[in-house]
Structure 1
Amino acid sequence: MTTAPPDSHPPAAPPSTDVEALRREVATLREESSRLRRMLDTAARIAWSHDVRAGGGEPVAPAWQAFTGQSLEAFGNQGWLTVLHPDDRAGALASWADAVAAKRSFSTRYRVRRADGVYVWMLAKGTPVLGLDGEVQEWVGTCSDIQDQCLREERAAFLARAGELFSSSLDAAATLATLANLSVSAHADWCLVDLLHEDGHFERSLVVTADPAQLPLATIVRSLSPVPRDQPVYPPSVALTTGRSTLVPEVTAPLLEAVAQDANHLATMHQVGMRSLLTVPLMARGHILGALTFIITKSGRHYGDEDLQFAQELANLAALAVDNARLLQGARDAIRLRDEFLSVASHELKTPLTPLSLKLQVLSRAVKAHPDSPLAPVIEAHVETGHRQVRRLTELMNDLLDVSRISAGTFRLQREAMDVAALVREVSARFAPRFALEHCPFTVDAPESVPGCFDKPRLAQVLDHLLDNALKYGAGTPVSLTLTADGAAARIRVRDGGIGIAPEQRSRLFERYGRAVSERHYGGLGLGLYLTRTIVEAEGGRVSLESRPGEGAEFEVMLPLQQA
């Protein structure tokens, strides 16, 4: 029999009250843990944990499995990356690696593939649980559904980008091509663009698919006509005829049969494999311009009311751009027709001027043959007036022809060696009688010779316009024509003391049909200074103006004497 050593006592059993308290504390902790997990399940779509001590990771069941369809076995060893969008995997893994290395919380966005194959934007957050030794014992985190927020951000950015691209082009075809390609890359697998032209005929102008392998099928789809029936049910036809939108969240076989225009149309729609569809009209200023159709064929996503609202906003932007492009094209066509008319009219009006000028010359010779006739001075004065008016009308016709040539891009210079000073004196001599008739003191200051290489008739035309302008707006005031040369450039200045020009009107004077005064008080077509600027700039020079209201005006033409 063994006896206990002196002063030795067996260990005392803990009081039953301490055991019960410990059990209650454990139960409380379990209940609190369960409550926290339920809170996580309520607050986030997915809650997860990674037990570093156990060397594995385990999402809180059943959220992960229910959302992604991935098994717990597939989740481990970074298997969770396989349900992320391929474009987001590298960023997600980098965020996780940085957080592990720094033992700090992380937050990142990525798209998670739902069990039905649709990717959903998630906001993933994780935080480390540290032990007493400062080492990470566990990672816990959540994945919250932010799909709606991201879609709103994407759509706002998409609309802003589309608006920029639409505003950068005033070509309707380019605008629609941009829209279709943008849409297919972001919001649809197919995009169809149907147009209603101003003459009333329908056209399928564009079909874009995201899959290059489907291009032959896209060609077939484009060949299908959107021409509606008497009571249209085919969505593009509905939009083109009534201006109403169509939303089909899920395309079914009976629906395709109902909207098909014929057997070929039905077979093609089945071949496309439509799963969801929406069509919106292109409308501007109350007029239907066309229709946009967006189709989903691959993913499990279905269009909804928010998608329809977004498509309508996009269609409004596109319709405005298309309408502006059509208005611009209409204006260009009108200008082209006007220029063609002016060109033809100029030729036709010049035709009777030639025999009229010849008749005046014959009459002039006849008068000179009878100098003693008392009617000779009167007839000669009338003949000279007729010559002057014929020359003026010829100049106006030539100006109109020049404008037509400029618009058509056929305006050309024919340079030759010439003396600018001699040309200045020649044109001045021709204008001297007109200045005398208007009681305008006219002075000319030019050196003996200024050699250059210019288109002589065109340069004479510049002088004609400048002197004619001075005669018209400076009648009764001194007019001066000055030519100077500094070796590199020739400068021609024409100054009058007439009504002058307000500063805000100066830039308009050099534009086509530009005027600074009312046409009721001053005649002309508003082309002289426009043609002056065009000719001078074609010669490599520039024209400028200095003027104040009531103090006259001075035009300066600078021409380089050394032509390239």
Structure 2
Amino acid sequence: MTPASRESLRPSPAPSAEGEAALRQELATLREESARLRRMLDTAAQISWTQDVRAGGDPVAPSWHAFTGQTRDAFANQGWLTALHPDDRAGALAAWAEAAAQKKPFSTRYRLRRADGVFVWMLAKGTPVLGHDGEVSEWVGTCSDIHSQCLREERAAFLARAGELFALALEPSATLVTLANLSVSTLADWCIVDLLHVNGHFERAQVSTADPAWLPLAEVVRRLAPIPRERPVYPPALALTTGQSTVVPDVTPALMEAVAQDANHLETMRQVGIRSLLTVPLVARGHILGALSLIVTTSGRRYGDEDLKFAQELANVAALAVDNGRLLQGAREAVRLRDEFLSVASHELKTPLTPLSLKLQALSRAVKAHPDSPLVPVIESHVEQGHRQVRRLTELMNDLLDVSRISAGTFRLQREAVDVAALVREVSARFAPRFGLEHSPFTVEAPESVRGCFDRSRLAQVLDHLLDNALKYGAGTPVSLRLLVDGAVARIRVRDGGIGIAPEQRPRLFERYGRAVSERHYGGLGLGLYLTRTIVEAEGGRVSLESTLGEGATFEVELPLQQA
């Protein structure tokens, strides 16, 4: 053995008293720092935990046991997962397994069951502490309460979804069904919607349950109409009559007896087994439309002020949809009554036109029997003017009747073989004198023959409307009517040099009663182009418009020459 080796075997000198004191002070400082860090963790989060990986065993989490009420034995061997909501367990376990395998921090959300049985959204975080060898020596983690934040996010998404569904449900009854079904899916075990009609009648409009087994009992509940007393105390009656909301975290037997309207009502409430209740009014434009009641019967959930605020937000969105639905129904009914009136009025107004037309024809024949009378030119002029006005009134009445038929779904075509070119010349010849009176040069171009299968009278009606439109808005300017064949399509173009149409007015021109100008300066009912479009589309074609304001307009009708 060499001197050097003998030197290495000598024991190290014992630490001095000063060194031992310094070591004890350092250890004490580390313990204080560790305790301070743990207190900080406890302050920053509802739950903090640690796990010594090298020592083995389960995590140490006293605050977990206090928060969840879970015992150490129940917590062990991944028993902590049972405190999580069943839907969140797989995700939480996967996040932990991935972090442990990759030695990296993790962060995940889950619903944790509190000691009182209520699930609370938590943000769980964990961080590995690595040793000198790069392996995990310890895990340190926290669970922070983010329930309010998650609730706000969920409720915002819920309200947005509810708004979309309410927009699709145009009928008030469909809106109420959607409201009830949405509520029992996330907010309640039972949902009751009571309705207040405009005539003051109360109706239990919808009763929905989370469990199909309760449907027979739901039918019993539906038959319990919310008839209000002079001083109502039953929450739905209170909301319907005063607009007052009610929230009852814990419904007691004594409370049910106090609000019951009769013995049958009390027995039904007992069968439902109400544990917690809230009721809010459906209010729109300052009017009470109904009441929304949410009921808990099975879970440990208890309604509070936050639930009441959210239910009122949901009720407000639903009330707006119901109010809009009622307004839509009112508008539809008004349109139906208007069309019904126009149909009746058209028939009634046509009745005196027939004998008037016959009288004018008789007068015309009588005048021709006395050709030498000096009154003949004057009378013939008046008779012709009378005939024109009768024809005009007849056309207007026919247009109104057509609109009524379209609204009623009884508008039909009667197709036959038609020479479109001959029809164009026939209608043009009828309009030529009118263009002469307005000093509008009128030209017609058409092939010898263009044959197709159409409703002859309806096609003549289209030409009438287009030429009448050109005569009205292009008076004093050249007007042209051109028929041409483009493959299997016939094109009819009517061009005038009149006032033209502004771009923003064009989309509504072909709508019912659509107008691009004031009715004070130009007559008509605003039906000609609407009927033109309806007839042309029924024939399988289309009508289009090109126009420049102040430079006239060109209407083009495309018609397939071979009908399907």
Indicate if the aligned counterparts of 1:58 and 1:72 stay in contact, CA closer than 8 A: no
* Change over 3 Å in CA distance of 1:473–1:26 after alignment to 2: closer
Query: Are 2:50 and 1:49 aligned?
Result: yes
CA apart distance, 1:95: 0.6
User: 2:382 is aligned with what amino acid?
Assistant: H
What SS does the corresponding residue of 1:88 show, helix, strand or coil? helix
User: 1:558 is aligned with what amino acid?
Assistant: E
**More displaced stretch, 320-329 vs 338-347:** 320-329
**More displaced stretch, 267-276 vs 48-57:** 48-57
CA distance in 1, matches of 2:231, 2:349: 56
User: 1:468 is aligned with what amino acid?
Assistant: D
The aligned runs of 1:409-420 (5 Å cut-off) are: 409-420=409-420
Deviations 1:68-115 (A, max 9, x none): 222211211111111111110110010111011111211111111122
Query: Are 2:143 and 1:115 aligned?
Result: no
CA distance in 2, matches of 1:211, 1:260: 24
CA distance in 1, matches of 2:516, 2:39: 80
CA distance in 2, matches of 1:497, 1:267: 81
The aligned runs of 1:312-323 (5 Å cut-off) are: 312-323=312-323
User: 2:57 is aligned with what amino acid?
Assistant: G
What SS does the corresponding residue of 2:107 show, helix, strand or coil? strand
CA apart distance, 1:377: 3.6
CA apart distance, 1:29: 4.6
CA apart distance, 1:19: 5.7
* Change over 3 Å in CA distance of 1:476–1:105 after alignment to 2: closer
Deviations 1:380-433 (A, max 9, x none): 333222222111111100000111111222222121111001101111122222
What SS does the corresponding residue of 2:516 show, helix, strand or coil? coil
- Partner residue, 1:492: 492
Query: Are 2:518 and 1:507 aligned?
Result: no
Query: Are 2:94 and 1:91 aligned?
Result: no
Deviations 1:253-272 (A, max 9, x none): 21111111111111111222
The aligned runs of 1:193-342 (5 Å cut-off) are: 193-342=193-342
* Change over 3 Å in CA distance of 1:444–1:73 after alignment to 2: same
The aligned runs of 1:450-461 (5 Å cut-off) are: 450-461=450-461
- Partner residue, 2:124: 124
CA apart distance, 1:12: 8.0
What SS does the corresponding residue of 1:348 show, helix, strand or coil? helix
- Partner residue, 2:4: none
CA distance in 1, matches of 2:145, 2:519: 70
Indicate if the aligned counterparts of 1:49 and 1:57 stay in contact, CA closer than 8 A: no
User: 1:450 is aligned with what amino acid?
Assistant: V
Deviations 1:4-36 (A, max 9, x none): xxx999998766666666556555554544444
Indicate if the aligned counterparts of 1:228 and 1:241 stay in contact, CA closer than 8 A: yes
- Partner residue, 2:60: 59
TM-score by length of 2: 0.93
* Change over 3 Å in CA distance of 1:143–1:373 after alignment to 2: same
CA distance in 1, matches of 2:404, 2:134: 86
CA distance in 1, matches of 2:35, 2:505: 82
Deviations 1:123-160 (A, max 9, x none): 11112233333222332212111111111111122222
- Partner residue, 1:185: 185
CA distance in 2, matches of 1:316, 1:169: 16
CA apart distance, 1:557: 1.6
* Change over 3 Å in CA distance of 1:433–1:11 after alignment to 2: closer
Query: Are 2:444 and 1:444 aligned?
Result: yes
CA apart distance, 1:531: 0.8
What SS does the corresponding residue of 1:315 show, helix, strand or coil? helix
- Partner residue, 1:3: none
Query: Are 2:557 and 1:557 aligned?
Result: yes
- Partner residue, 2:40: 39
When the two chains are superposed, the root-mean-square deviation of aligned CA atoms in Å is: 2.4
User: 1:45 is aligned with what amino acid?
Assistant: Q
**More displaced stretch, 16-25 vs 158-167:** 16-25
Query: Are 2:463 and 1:466 aligned?
Result: no
CA apart distance, 1:362: 2.8
CA apart distance, 1:230: 0.5
- State the number of aligned residues: 558
User: 1:471 is aligned with what amino acid?
Assistant: L
Query: Are 2:74 and 1:74 aligned?
Result: yes
User: 1:44 is aligned with what amino acid?
Assistant: A
User: 1:140 is aligned with what amino acid?
Assistant: V
CA distance in 1, matches of 2:175, 2:495: 50
- Partner residue, 1:355: 355
* Change over 3 Å in CA distance of 1:144–1:399 after alignment to 2: same
CA apart distance, 1:314: 1.6
**More displaced stretch, 87-96 vs 127-136:** 127-136
What SS does the corresponding residue of 2:95 show, helix, strand or coil? helix
Deviations 1:504-562 (A, max 9, x none): 32333222112222212221111111111111122122222233333333222221212
**More displaced stretch, 307-316 vs 283-292:** 307-316
Indicate if the aligned counterparts of 1:508 and 1:514 stay in contact, CA closer than 8 A: yes
User: 1:39 is aligned with what amino acid?
Assistant: M
CA apart distance, 1:289: 0.9
Deviations 1:289-331 (A, max 9, x none): 1111112222222222222111222222111121111111111
What SS does the corresponding residue of 2:387 show, helix, strand or coil? helix
Deviations 1:456-484 (A, max 9, x none): 10000011111111222222333222211
Indicate if the aligned counterparts of 1:417 and 1:451 stay in contact, CA closer than 8 A: yes
What SS does the corresponding residue of 1:141 show, helix, strand or coil? strand
- Partner residue, 2:536: 536
**More displaced stretch, 51-60 vs 315-324:** 51-60
* Change over 3 Å in CA distance of 1:153–1:546 after alignment to 2: closer
* Change over 3 Å in CA distance of 1:83–1:447 after alignment to 2: same
- Partner residue, 1:4: none
Query: Are 2:173 and 1:173 aligned?
Result: yes
- Partner residue, 1:548: 548
CA distance in 2, matches of 1:300, 1:516: 64
* Change over 3 Å in CA distance of 1:40–1:427 after alignment to 2: same
**More displaced stretch, 319-328 vs 332-341:** 319-328
Long gaps (5+) in structure 1: 1-6
CA apart distance, 1:232: 0.7
TM-score by length of 1: 0.93
* Change over 3 Å in CA distance of 1:75–1:391 after alignment to 2: same
The aligned runs of 1:338-417 (5 Å cut-off) are: 338-417=338-417
